[in-house]
Structure 1
Amino acid sequence: MGRWERALDAAGVHDPGLRADYGRQRQQVAAYKREVAVATGLLLPAALVPHVIAAAAFMHRTDTLLDSGPAADRRAASARWERKVSESLAAGRSDNPEIRPLLHSVEAHPGLRDRVVDYLAAATADLEFAGFATEDDYQRYVDGYSLPAFMVVATLLGPDGDQTAYRAACRTFIDAGQRLDFVNDLAEDLADGRLTLPAQTLAEHGVTRTDLEQARTGPAVLALLTDQLDRVDRTLTAGRAVIGLVPAAHRPMVRCLVRVDELTSAAARSAGAALLRRPASPGKFAALRLLGREYLRARRSPS
């Protein structure tokens, strides 16, 4: 019996059809973020693995509907999906293979239900995105969309019971992660017609949207990118507090999440103005070394 089959058994997933549903979602998660699927399988207790996969698949499915196609189509598709999930949660059952694993995971981890509802309610923040005028607008986006999205999976990694302090630490961590994504994905977002850096911040550095769209690499643009990555690194340092707030068995996974962002930030800083043409990513060797180190920690009764 393989690792995945043992994880399904440990998570109480015995029905053949439901096991197949979870398996498809595992493939979906691996297709869009293979490193997440691999790390989940290697670093977390077996009984938690299928539930994290289901939560990640739900988050990805929802996010894809928010991002794909013309605005009117996205609104309609998102509304249909929200209605299906909400009705399924209320009934406690569904014939939709994309929802059945989520329902089973909600039954096993009841706190997940509220996080799913929160994320569905937050969808309009992304549907209505039209850029940020100020840093405060960006921070409201983190509160209104990024944090609810992150907590769908993060709630499963957190402590049992009251998660108030943990949620606050997650908020700091996802602030850093969201800003890092916006800086690192700048070229791709601009190509899609989205400017994700606040207009106020550009003005403070004397940079225009055209400068970024045309990949002008003058001192002002470099200073802007450096400033944003400095903010990322300061917030990431504070966000490391999240590691100490999760159960010991979950710390290898959470350390890995934090460290991947640190490595990505370092890669983005090294790339400099090249970020205006393509995203940066950590070297494969560094990523594998990180995963190997945390896997060994997980096997040695992590702390």
Structure 2
Amino acid sequence: MTPAQELDAADVRDPRLREAYALCETILQHDNHASHTWMRGQLQPGSRPYWDAMIAFCGYADDLADALDVPLAERIRRYDAFTHTFFRMLHNASVPVPRSGPDEAHAEGERAYLVSLAFCDFVHTWHLSEAGIRQASQALRTDMSTEAYDTLTALERYMHGVSGEPARWLAALLGPRGQTPGDGAANAATAWSFGLQTLDFVLDLEEDVRLGKLYVPLDDLRQCGLQRADMERAVAARESPQALRDVVACQLVRVRRYFTAAERWMDSTRPLGWEAIRESLIEGWATVDRIARSGHDIFAVTAEPT
């Protein structure tokens, strides 16, 4: 099915909205998000443009937050300007419409506007919670100036914003159009996303530490006899002392708990349209097993060819 036919199936008729959704789809094609492309293919054609809007919007916000070549204060300023404009658009406030111009600033302004426009339409069409969107926005903003999270509670608060809320938006897309997912579906989607994100934290541990970030609760390090400096030395040497293996094992305990919670709800309700989540969990479990078989040596696992 062509992008134009998908927009027809989504009942997106306004020319400016069609332009906005088409841009989101083009952005994702250009950025080559393999996992997002796979998930997109699991959705009904009429839901795919909304998925494009969701991923393009989240990706644009992530890019603003993660622009490491930009000073922190300037990143925060740009991020705040982007989110402020979005929420004004969400409430149909008057926002200047950027027009194409000869310079890069004009082009970037129009890109941000169209991505926000498409996401606003998704929010209104599928009745997404504005409170949830604000929580996601604030979590990403706070993380820009946060190097580590002291407790699991603090880390889960961050995860709920950046992965839990988007998972709930996906849960909406997996169900009937415009119908808000029930608590069971929303909680299962959140648990699934927490498991995947915690697994990503483990796999990306080396990269994150080298960037000055740590997405393992400091409580876990202390309980395993590690200081953050010990973690940094282990990463620099790419060595896994037993204490670091214990930290990794602790994270996998949580991944198993999150995945099991999601599966328990799916097994009891057998929701239609959730086959993609089930497949994702199968792959996630396989990664957990692979890390466990390595003796929780994350450097050995990440050195393996994919």
- With normalisation by structure 1, the TM-score equals 0.78
Kindly indicate whether the alpha-carbon contact (under 8 Å) linking 1:25 and 1:57 is maintained by their aligned counterparts in 2: yes
Distance 2:49 2:167 in 1: 17
The alpha carbon displacement at 1:188 in A equals: 0.9
1:8 is paired with a residue whose SS is helix
The alpha carbon displacement at 1:155 in A equals: 3.5
Bigger RCO (CA 8 Å, 6+ sep): 1
Report the CA distance shift for 1:137/1:89 in structure 2 as closer, same or farther (over 3 A). closer
Report the CA distance shift for 1:213/1:199 in structure 2 as closer, same or farther (over 3 A). farther
Report the CA distance shift for 1:278/1:14 in structure 2 as closer, same or farther (over 3 A). farther
- With normalisation by structure 2, the TM-score equals 0.78
Report the CA distance shift for 1:102/1:181 in structure 2 as closer, same or farther (over 3 A). same
Match of 1:120 among 130, 134, 137: 137
Deviations 1:70-98 (A, max 9, x none): 32122111100111101111117864222
2:12 is paired with a residue whose SS is coil
Match of 2:248 among 225, 236, 239: 225
Kindly indicate whether the alpha-carbon contact (under 8 Å) linking 1:187 and 1:279 is maintained by their aligned counterparts in 2: no
Deviations 1:234-273 (A, max 9, x none): 321222245466851x212222333343333334445666
Point out where structure 1 has 5 or more consecutive residues left out of the alignment. 284-303
Distance 1:227 1:117 in 2: 31
Distance 1:188 1:76 in 2: 26
Kindly indicate whether the alpha-carbon contact (under 8 Å) linking 1:186 and 1:196 is maintained by their aligned counterparts in 2: yes
Kindly indicate whether the alpha-carbon contact (under 8 Å) linking 2:51 and 2:170 is maintained by their aligned counterparts in 1: yes
> 2:216 is matched with which residue?
197
Match of 1:169 among 188, 198, 210: 188
Q: Do structure 1's residue 142 and structure 2's residue 159 form an aligned pair?
A: yes
Point out where structure 2 has 5 or more consecutive residues left out of the alignment. 98-112
Distance 2:180 2:280 in 1: 23
Report the CA distance shift for 1:280/1:200 in structure 2 as closer, same or farther (over 3 A). same
Percent identity (aligned): 23
Distance 2:20 2:11 in 1: 14
> 2:91 is matched with which residue?
90
> 1:38 is matched with which residue?
38
Kindly indicate whether the alpha-carbon contact (under 8 Å) linking 1:122 and 1:148 is maintained by their aligned counterparts in 2: no
Distance 1:243 1:281 in 2: 32
> 2:103 is matched with which residue?
none
Distance 2:90 2:291 in 1: 41
Match of 2:262 among 221, 239, 264: 239
Matches within 5 A, 1:101-120: 101-111=118-128, 113-120=130-137
Distance 1:282 1:8 in 2: 39
2:28 is paired with a residue whose SS is helix
Q: Do structure 1's residue 185 and structure 2's residue 204 form an aligned pair?
A: yes
> 1:4 is matched with which residue?
3
Kindly indicate whether the alpha-carbon contact (under 8 Å) linking 1:112 and 1:152 is maintained by their aligned counterparts in 2: no
Report the CA distance shift for 1:17/1:280 in structure 2 as closer, same or farther (over 3 A). farther
Which structure dedicates a bigger proportion of its chain to helix?
1
Q: Do structure 1's residue 131 and structure 2's residue 148 form an aligned pair?
A: yes
Distance 2:32 2:163 in 1: 18
When the two chains are superposed, the root-mean-square deviation of aligned CA atoms in Å is 3.0
Report the CA distance shift for 1:73/1:242 in structure 2 as closer, same or farther (over 3 A). farther
Distance 2:253 2:304 in 1: 17
1:46 is paired with a residue whose SS is coil
Report the CA distance shift for 1:137/1:15 in structure 2 as closer, same or farther (over 3 A). closer
Distance 2:58 2:270 in 1: 21
